[in-house]
Structure 1
C-alpha cells in the first residue's frame, strides 16, 4: 500500500440533488425530510472517507454552504464554486459544481462564455470550474470540473400536441442537447489548450459527461492530430488528453465498470482525463496512473438501509503515483 507521500487521489462525485430541507429540487414535492437529509449526508461522508481522496470534484450541488461545511469537517479546508443555483422561493433548479481539496487552491474561476459572433454568445449549461491547485508530486496543476448538458431534450414544452408533433419535438430537442454538449466540450478543450500554451502546467479534467466519451460530440477532446497530417501528432502531443482508465488498463485485460444505470442497462458517463504529463511516453512526466477505482456497490448491489439516499452515479477515482513507485 502506497503512503499518501507517494501518491495522490483525485475523484469525481455526482451528489444527485444535494439540497438541504426545507427547500425543494425542481418540484415543490421534492423535499428531503430531516431524517432523509441526514441519511444522504451520512452516505456521502462514508463514501468520501472510504475513498480517501485528496481532491474531489462535485456535481449537482444546490446547498453550497452545507457542502462546504460537511467537507471541512471531513478534513478538506479548501473549497470553491463559481456559480449559484437558481431558486424561485424554495424551489431550486440549475445545480452548480464545486471542488474540495486537502491542498491549497491557488486560483479559481469559471470557464468563460464564448462569443462566436458580435451578436451572439454561447453559455455553458453549467459553468465549468477552472482551479489551480498546488499538489504534492505534481506542483501547480490545472483542474477542470464539468457537468456537460444532459441527454434530456432541450427547449421542449408541456403543451398538449398531436403525437407526431410530440415525436418531432422530442427528436429535435435531443439533437439540440447533443449540439449544446458538443459545443461545451469543444470550447472547453479550446480553453484548456490556450491555458496550456500560456502556463505549460499539467491538467486534469473530470466530471459527469452525460454521454460515453466515444460519442461524436466529444471527438475533439481525444483528438491527437490534424486529419491527414500525421506529423501533427508529435507537434500536438503536449496538448493531448488521455482517458485515465485507458492509461490504467492499457493491456485491456479488465473490463471497464459502468458509472450509471438506466434500468439494467449500464453506461460510462463519468470520466477523468489527464494531460500528457501522466502518459507513459511523456516528454516531461509528472506522475503515473497506479490505480483506478469505481465506487459502485450502491448501484450494482444496493443495501436499502445503507444506500436509500445514495447517488445515482458511481464515484470515480484515480490514483497518481510518483515515478519509480508501484
Structure 2
C-alpha cells in the first residue's frame, strides 16, 4: 500500500458523550402533578434526587436529554447531587420562580450540558398544514410534550444540534370532559380498541411533525444532528422509521442528507454489542423505547462523514429491582460520539 499523503491525514477527533434519561415524573415534594397520584413526600423526593444524582454521575455525559420533568428545580437538585458541573440546565415550560410553578398538565423535556449553548427553542405547534384528525377528538395540532432543540458549540469549535423528544404513549386515549372524567366505557373492549387507535394516530402525527423539524435542521447543511428521547416505540416501528426515513436511501441517494440513523447500529467494530440492549420492560417483555439517533455526519465511511459512533451503552439494571417511583421505569442510554476538530464552515440552521 502506498503511504497516505501528508495532506490527506484525517483531522483529529474530539469526543462527545450524550445520554437520554426518562426520569419518571420528577417533581418537587408536596406538589400534585397528576390528580390520581399522590405528591412526593420529603423523604421520597430526597431518595429520588439522590438516586438520579448517582445515575447522572455514572453517565458523566456532556449532554443530558431528560424527559418527564415537572419541576426544573428538581432536575437542578438531582444534578447538584451528582457532584458534576453543568453550566446550563433548562426545562422550558417547567420553570420554578415567583410566577411559574413548574409544568402543568403534562411533564416537559429538558437539557443539561457542559457545552456552550448558542440557541434553545421549544416547538409546541405542528407545522401549518400538518394537522391530523383524531377520531372523536378533532384536529391534533400540537405536541403534548414540545420537543426541544439546542444548538451547541463543542470546545474545539464544532457546532452540533441536539433535539430532545418525548412522543405520545401507547396508553389508550379515552374521551374526557373538561374536568377529566372519562366519558366512555373503559370496560368495553371495542371502545378500548378505538382509544388505542387515538393514541397511535396522535403518536404518528407527532412523529410526522418531528420529521418536519428534522428536515428543517438537516437540509442543505453539514451541521450534525443528534436526536434523543423516549419515542414510546421501538427502532423498527412505523413511527420511528417515519422520523428517520432511513429506508428512503435505498432508492434515493439524496435522502441521506435528511435521514437519521440509530446510533446503536453504527457502533465501531470494537464496541461490545450485548443482548441486554433494552430500555423498558412492559409486562415482562423488554424493548427499546429510549433511542439515540444521529445524522449522516456520524456515518463512519459516509460521503459527508465528520465523525463516528464509538459506543452505545444501556444502563438498565434498576429495571429488575421492582417498581419504585423514586427510581425510573426506563433505562438510560448513553452514546460516545466523535467529531472532527476542524470546524466545517457551513451555515447552521437555527432551531
Q: Shorter-chain TM-score: what band?
A: 0.7 to 0.9
Q: How many aligned residue pairs are there? A: 309
Task: Note the residue ranges of structure 2 that are not aligned, 5 or more in a row.
Answer: 1-12, 96-100, 132-137, 177-181, 342-351
Tell me, yes or no, if the aligned pair for 2:28 and 2:73 is still in contact at 8 Å: no
Aligned counterparts, 1:70-89, within 5 A: 70-71=78-79, 74-84=84-94
Deviation at 1:79, TM superposition (A): 1.7
Residues 1-326 of structure 1 aligned to structure 2 (within 5 Å): 6-27=14-35, 29-71=37-79, 74-84=84-94, 93-113=105-125, 114-116=127-129, 122-136=141-155, 139-157=158-176, 158-159=182-183, 161=185, 163=187, 166-197=188-219, 199-224=221-246, 226=248, 230=251, 232=252, 234-248=253-267, 254-255=274-275, 257-300=277-320, 302=321, 309-321=326-338
CA distance in 2 between counterparts of 1:265 and 1:91 reads 31
How far apart are 1:14 and its partner, in Å? 0.4
Following superposition, the deviation at residue 55 of structure 1 comes to 0.2
Alignment-derived partner of residue 7 in structure 2: none
User: Any conservation in 1 of the 2:220–2:257 contact (CA below 8 Å)?
Assistant: no
* Structure 1, gaps ≥5 residues long: none
Secondary structure at the aligned position of 1:116 is classed as coil
Which stretch has the larger CA shift, 209-218 or 117-126? 117-126
- In 2: Cα distance, 1:121 partner to 1:159 partner: 19
User: How has the CA–CA distance of structure 1 residues 151 and 162 changed in structure 2, closer, same or farther, with 3 Å as cutoff?
Assistant: closer
Distance 1:19 1:299 in 2: 21
Structure 1: how far apart are the matches of 2:239 and 2:141?
A: 16
RMSD, aligned α-carbons: 3.1
Contact 2:211 2:244 in 1 (8 A): no
Shift of 1:137: 5.9
Structure 1 residue 188, shift from structure 2 partner: 1.2
1:251-303 per-position Cα deviation (integer Å, ceiling 9, x unaligned): 99642511111232111100000000001222232221111111111013x28
Deviates more, 1:244-253 or 1:106-115: 244-253
Residue 321 of structure 1 deviates from its aligned partner by: 3.0
Taking the aligned partners of 1:205 and 1:103, their CA distance within structure 2 comes to 16
Higher percent of residues as strand: 1
Contact 1:26 1:91 (C-alpha < 8 Å) held by counterparts:
no
**Inter-CA distance 161–137: structure 2 relative to 1 (3 Å threshold):** same
Note if contact 2:185-2:191 (Cα within 8 Å) is conserved in structure 1. Answer: no
After TM superposition, the score normalised by the length of structure 2 is 0.79
Deviation for aligned residue 1:92: 5.3
